[in-house]
A and B are shown apart, each in its own frame.
Chain A
Amino acid sequence: MSVELPVLTAKDFASDQEIRWCPRCGDYSILAQMKKVLPTLGVPKENTVFVSGIGCSSRFPYYLDTFGFHSIHGRAPAIATGVKLSNPELQVWVITGDGDALSIGGNHLMHAIRRNIDLNIILFNNRIYGLTKGQYSPTSPVGVRTKSTPMGSIDNPLSPLSVAIGSEATFVARAVDVDIKHLTYILERAAKHKGTSFVEVYQDCNVFNAGAFYYASKKGVKEDNIVYLEHGKPLIFGKDKDKGIRVNEGNRPEVVTLGSGISEDDLLFHDEQADEPSLAFLLARMKHPEFPEALGVFRDVERPVYDQCVEDQIRQAKETSGEGDLEALFNSGDTWTVE
């Protein structure tokens, strides 16, 4: 007997809450793409849970008509871990930001990723603290002047993707908020991956850090500054598709121009399934303006999934020891009787 599931649309995933992000915030686009993707995943609405921390992006769950948990600063991966372990049938998303995930919550992010628990972690990176009105974040570049760095930031930033890869991530991707088709594709891929999916989304905070990602999002500019990753294909970019990335003899990437003795075959070919994470790491280290920054799926490999391993051990324990029996448990060990 086949059960016909109701066909849902983006509208079905919209909650009745008024959206309170600033006008033209990049979050709107990410929310819109998420609403588009959710009905296509074959997961019932009631089995979908969004968990967030604190920050502008973390209001996300309020605007979706799924189960949602707007939690506390930095702890979303840990809370989501509990949700997923309590019921592995659920599809659990974590919505977080650069401050939430990488500063106050860095520890939880790292450990969720290394366990490879089946969460989809979407990090909105706007390189600024927006909700607290404009302090630098762990991804802000050195020198940036903010309310807390009037003479320019002296904090060395980190790369979210490097952190994820260093934490043994099995799925790592990057997208841009306004590149809607590509973002949709990346969200779908993240949802389908079994294990922790980590997605960095470049997101424009047009109030406190406007234009931080114009180099990667503005038409006419971005073409020379980004390179789309496609599995099995060479890394080619540029307005005229005439530039590529080659790995030189020192195992360093370099930008080369096609023609004049350099063909596509000389370029770096992307392999998102490479068992070893060095390629993904090399790509994650390519930074504007020295290099075009890579967008797409950096890494997608299979590893044991934590929540499934938890279930497997329970199944195994029941097979070897039998279903838990309180009577037997109470009476285990040395016992004696008092008449």
Chain B
Amino acid sequence: MASTDVATSENTNGKKKESLESVVIRFCGDSGDGMQLAGTQMTNVSAAFGNDVSTLPDFPAEIRAPAGSLAGVSGFQLSFANHEIYTPGDEVDTLVAMNPAALKTNLADLKRGGTLVVNEDAFEKANLAKAGYESNPLDDERTLSSYTVHKVPMTRLTRDAVAELGLTQKEADRCKNFFALGLIFWLYDRDPTPTQDWVKDKFGRKPQIADANLQALQAGSNYGDSTQTFTVHYQVPPAKLAPGRYRKMTGNEATALGLATAAHLAGKTLFYGGYPITPASDILHELAKLKNFGVKTFQAEDEIAAMSSIVGAAFGGALSVTASSGPGICLKGEAMGLGLMTELPMVIVNVQRGGPSTGLPTKTEQSDLLLSMFGRNGDSPLPIVAAASPGDCFEMAQEAMRIAVEHMIPVLFLTDGYIANGAEPWRIPDVSSLRPIKVEQKTSLNGDDEFFPYQRDDNLARPWGIPGSPGLEHRVGGLEKSNITGNVDYDPDNHERMSLLRAEKVERVANSIPEQEVLGPESGELLVISWGGTYGAVRTAVQRSVDGGKSVAHAHLRYINPFPSNLGDLISRYDKVLIPELNTGQLSLLIRAKYLVDAVGQNKIQGKPFLVGEIVEKIDSMLSE
């Protein structure tokens, strides 16, 4: 995605300024080096400047692995551009490496001719040894000859910059991420104001630390401007995004906001029961801030209790939701089944991460699709929706809640670590343009003189008769029910009838979801089907192929169970089907089973998102077969 097309060139302060279309930067360093913060701030100022942005935070599962070790390297990649982008970029244009371990683990992703900025002070004996370098790679002309290298003594310069403030050396050294950030701000001509404001706000109670960070930021910028090392800096003009007001949004923020919005517009209480787990915890954190919206958050004793509490809250009449990731979702399975059997509305968010078991807690994967489809005892289908991008979590969270309430059923909402932690500009919607969910809670009888809790409407949904309604007293539970009355019923024919009815109920969700759309030709040689967080990479790859005159189209699924009703017809209009997934082929299995099509999987199971180039290559190879 990165572009080095030089559009303009001008002189300011003796330095050349060049204009670029897009840039990919990666900050990497030790877990304690503040790289996530540097990346986030660079994202914020770029977004505020008007670029389109896409981010990929990448950090280890350990809060602090041994300092200087390869395992402790934390990175934050971002792309910003003067046009719409959908991924954080395949190749890195500028790599900031704060220590030898960071250089070692990240250099391979820096493109040939790219810019390397290193903190040369960190390249001393002990750190080199921890990174497994026998000699200092900065002295190795051969290794670095393909790059433009800037060896900057950041530790020393940062200490000098804050010398007057009387900090301890440890405190002073913690400011060096701001030095690096200042340098990058200069290199890409960014306005530091949003970051300066953030520092003042964040360290308001520690003015000394605030000053130190601000001075380090300034020193970094001055270094770029005044030293001979850098002869050129760059500008990426604002993107031509759709008009409107924007803010930066991560997937987890958007999920929380979408859920709160759904409840607020419906005039109902949002109840969130959760248990801390990476990478889903931020949803709990975000919702816990919204108490003035009447949002109730409950940090339960475990995942099972979190799930159970939302089943209880749904019975009580709240719009209920939980969020977790793989291991937690496994624990929720039994109570999810109870939600299904008692036909109560609720949303279960699964922010997928690498599995199985504890797996790769901080890395992304799409390997819980079949768990979502089949991960409960008995024949127990549930609707599944999946968000395509960070911002899309806002809409799909509301969709999940709408389906849950309209169909009286637990709905699984899938995101993943990549879009949950990744950020993009989000166009702020007009509140009046949002469609409120219609919540019909029964407060009166639906029979002559009794209440039938398992009577059904056109969606096969049962009435939501909530406690506090006189005459509606009824019992629900996990035992098989008789239709209409909801009484316990072990009759063999009844069980078969109810099992089929529960399946049909899920199928009817297809009546209220949009038809599947494609990017590219309506028929042709190849259809690429994707779902979830791979949207950006697949879309970009297909667009590139379409632009290259190839007969390829892209269908990105946001509704997975049931599939959109036109999907089978759509698939039949292409000669071949490719399904790229970050798993061993889970959507492929479902598509092949349902539509009897010989779909080809492209499967990556590395805890990392697809590169656009990987998909383009696969498309090309399928078309040339």
Contacts and interface: CB of A to CB of B under 8 A. Distances in A.
Nearest to A110: B301
Contacts of B240: 338
Contacts of B338: 71-72
A31 B523 CA distance: 67
Contact of B312 (A86, A89, A310, A320): A86
Interface residues of A, number: 60
Nearest to A111: B301
A330 B306 CA distance: 27
A85 B477 contact: no
Most chain B CB within 10 A, of A70, A82, A329, A337, is at: A82
Contacts of A336: 47-50, 245-247
A15 interface: yes
B308 A69 contact: no
Interface stretch (B149-157, B160-168, B468-476): B468-476
Nearest to B466: A87
Contact of A46 (B44, B244, B472): B472
A70 B338 CA distance: 10
Interface in A81-113: 81-87, 89-90, 107-108, 110-111
A322 B320 CA distance: 23
Contacts of A323: 292
Contact of A338 (B242, B306, B318): B242
B428 interface: yes
A318 B298 contact: no
B475 A78 contact: no
Interface stretch (A59-67, A156-164, A221-229): A59-67
Given A67-B474, A82-B271, A336-B47, A318 B292 contact: yes
A186 interface: no
A83 B316 contact: yes
Interface string A299-339: 00000000000100110111011111011011111111111
Which secondary structure dominates where chain B touches chain A?
Answer: mixed
Contacts of A70: 475-479
Interface string B296-307: 101011101110
A263 B474 CA distance: 55
B48 A334 contact: yes
Interface string A44-65: 1111010100100000011001
A82 B467 CA distance: 13
Interface string B240-260: 111111111000000001001
Interface string B426-446: 001101000000000000000
A51 B476 CA distance: 10
A75 interface: yes
A108 B308 contact: yes
A67 B473 contact: yes
Contacts of B290: 324, 329
A83 B241 contact: no
B312 A69 contact: yes
B98 to A, nearest CB: 26
A120 to B, nearest CB: 15
Contact of A81 (B247, B298, B320): B298
A338 B308 contact: no
A122 interface: no
Contacts of B315: 49, 67, 69, 79, 82-83, 86
Contacts of A313: 291
Given A47-B467, A331-B428, A334-B248, A85 B309 contact: yes
Interface in B472-491: 472-479, 487-488
Contacts of A284: none
Contacts of B177: none
Contacts of A314: 291-292, 294, 296
A323 B337 CA distance: 36
B25 interface: no
A337 B292 contact: no
Most chain B CB within 10 A, of A17, A83, A327, is at: A83
A90 B301 contact: no
A80 interface: yes
A326 B292 CA distance: 11
Nearest to B394: A330
Interface in B32-81: 44, 47-50
Interface in B323-349: 334-335, 337-338, 342
A90 B292 contact: no
A338 B50 contact: yes
A294 B239 CA distance: 76
B291 A90 contact: no
Most chain B CB within 10 A, of A51, A80, A84, A338, is at: A338
A99 B114 CA distance: 65
B273 interface: yes
B305 A75 contact: yes
B293 interface: yes
A78 B308 contact: yes
B283 interface: no
A80 B305 contact: no
B305 A78 contact: yes
B50 A69 contact: no
Contacts of A321: 292
A44 B475 contact: no
B113 interface: no
Contacts of B271: 82, 85-86
A213 B590 CA distance: 57
Contacts of B194: 334
Nearest to A68: B475
Contact of A111 (B49, B305, B311, B479): B305
B414 interface: no
Given A17-B487, A82-B320, A335-B246, 12 more contacts: A49-B467, A62-B488, A66-B473, A69-B475, A78-B304, A82-B271, A86-B318, A87-B467, A317-B291, A318-B291, A327-B431, A334-B48
6 contacts: A61-B477, A68-B477, A83-B315, A320-B292, A334-B247, A338-B239
Interface of B: 44, 47-50, 194, 238-248, 257, 260-261, 264-265, 269, 271, 273, 290-296, 298, 300-302, 304-306, 308-318, 320, 334-335, 337-338, 342, 428-429, 431, 466-479, 487-488
